[in-house]
Amino acid sequence: MNKFIKLNNKSYLKCKNLLFIQINEFKKFLTLSFKNRKKVKLYHLLKNFFPVYNNKNTIIINYIDYFINKPIYSIKKCLLNNLTYEVDIKILLHIYSQKHNINKYKIVYLTKCPLMTKYGSFIFNGSERVVVSQLYRPNNIFFYKKPYKNYKYYSVKIIPKRGIWIDMYINEYKIFYFIIDKKKKIYITTFLRFLGYKNNKDILKLFKIIKKKKITKIKKKKIIIYDNINNKLLFINSKKKININKKFVYLINDNKYKKYFPIINTLLKEKIFDYKKIINTLYNT
């Protein structure tokens, strides 16, 4: 027989806020107020990356503090207009160099960060979510080969432990592209010029594609000749007269032509050769 126990009012337990743990932990990580800022986890997380030095250790960048503006959109507006409830994070840096006579402070934009609501949830693209899903990829180099129509699509993804992601791929037109942090793509040869391989000969030598040969010893068949005078790739049929005012030219090895055709084809498509323009292109991507 079931027995029931009658409880008086004093026997009831008050139910605590079940969301307290996650809301409190998020406040420990990120807070909009300036009180006890140095106890916040984000403060110490950013502090771990500093100070930063240049190659010659003549310029020092120190982290001072972070700033968070209020959310641009309210929770209600984010839910109605498919927006994300988030804040901008900026950091205050101290840049110092005794050699270059630099001593200044600068506020730099860092990133956006989702903000937790009072209900312990996040709002992404107008949808309220309790858990923020995150794809974790270990730092490594990943190679992919995927069929695309009648073409094999080759790509490489480089994921460092810290820093930006790098993607490289060869498209169906045999053009070799380089992508920094999923932004505007550039030719791989443009990036190689940025690294110091400033002319076509340097890039072709990097892949051991070319060999030096006398013009008189060139076989009578269709070849590709590198003209080291004009720094251009020339498609020339050796049966015809070769108008190059040199005893030696650089030939592309026949056995490596098909293998490295994407590099050769990308060099032919490339239009930016000036080093300053290349730097501007990279920093504007």
pLDDT tops 60 at residue 222? no
Give yes or no: residues 24 and 86 share one domain.
Answer: yes
Give yes or no: residues 162 and 82 share one domain.
Answer: no
pLDDT in tens, 224-276: 566 555 566 666 555 555 555 566 666 676 666 777 788 888 888 887 777 77
Measure the CA–CA gap between 223 and 236, rounded to whole angstroms: 6
pLDDT tops 80 at residue 215? no
pLDDT of residue 94: 92
Q: Which residue has the higher pLDDT, 164 or 105?
A: 105
pLDDT of residue 221: 55
User: Would you say residue 240 lies in a domain?
Assistant: yes
Mean pLDDT of the chain: 77
pLDDT of residue 234: 62
Mean pLDDT of all residues in 12-20: 74
Give yes or no: residues 122 and 23 share one domain.
Answer: yes
Radius of gyration of the chain (CA): 30
Give yes or no: residues 61 and 125 share one domain.
Answer: yes
pLDDT of residue 195: 85
Backbone angles phi, psi at 63, to 5 degrees: -90, 130
Q: Which residue has the higher pLDDT, 30 or 74?
A: 74
pLDDT of residue 220: 56
Mean pLDDT of all residues in 96-112: 87
Give yes or no: residues 44 and 119 share one domain.
Answer: yes
Give yes or no: residues 188 and 208 share one domain.
Answer: no
Domain boundary among 74, 102, 129: 129
Domain extent for 172 = 140-194
pLDDT tops 80 at residue 22? yes
Name the strand (E) or helix (H) holding 129.
strand 127-129
Give yes or no: residues 153 and 234 share one domain.
Answer: no
pLDDT in tens, 160-212: 877 788 888 888 888 888 888 777 788 888 888 888 887 787 888 887 777 77
In sequence order, the 6+-apart residues with CB closer than 8 A to the CB of 88 are: 68, 69, 109, 111, 112
Give yes or no: residues 161 and 147 share one domain.
Answer: yes
User: Would you say residue 277 lies in a domain?
Assistant: no
pLDDT of residue 191: 87
Domain boundary among 77, 110, 129: 129
Picking from 9-13, 84-88, 157-161, which range would have the lowest pLDDT averaged per residue? 9-13
pLDDT of residue 285: 59
User: Would you say residue 232 lies in a domain?
Assistant: yes
pLDDT of residue 217: 60
pLDDT of residue 105: 92
Domain boundary among 103, 129, 155: 129
In the structure encoding, which two tokens stand for residue 266, read together? 């990308």
Picking from 95-104, 108-117, 138-147, 215-224, which range would have the lowest pLDDT averaged per residue? 215-224
Give yes or no: residues 52 and 102 share one domain.
Answer: yes
pLDDT of residue 166: 87
User: Would you say residue 278 lies in a domain?
Assistant: no
User: Would you say residue 211 lies in a domain?
Assistant: yes
Q: In the structure, what pLDDT confidence band is assigned to residue 4 with cuts at 50, 70 and 90?
A: low
User: Would you say residue 255 lies in a domain?
Assistant: yes
pLDDT of residue 128: 85
User: Would you say residue 6 lies in a domain?
Assistant: no
User: Would you say residue 254 lies in a domain?
Assistant: yes
Mean pLDDT of all residues in 68-79: 88
Give yes or no: residues 68 and 36 share one domain.
Answer: yes
Backbone angles phi, psi at 56, to 5 degrees: -95, 5
Give yes or no: residues 96 and 26 share one domain.
Answer: yes
In the structure encoding, which two tokens stand for residue 199, read together? 């002319």
Give yes or no: residues 82 and 180 share one domain.
Answer: no
Number of compact structural domains in the chain = 3
Measure the CA–CA gap between 172 and 149, rounded to whole angstroms: 9
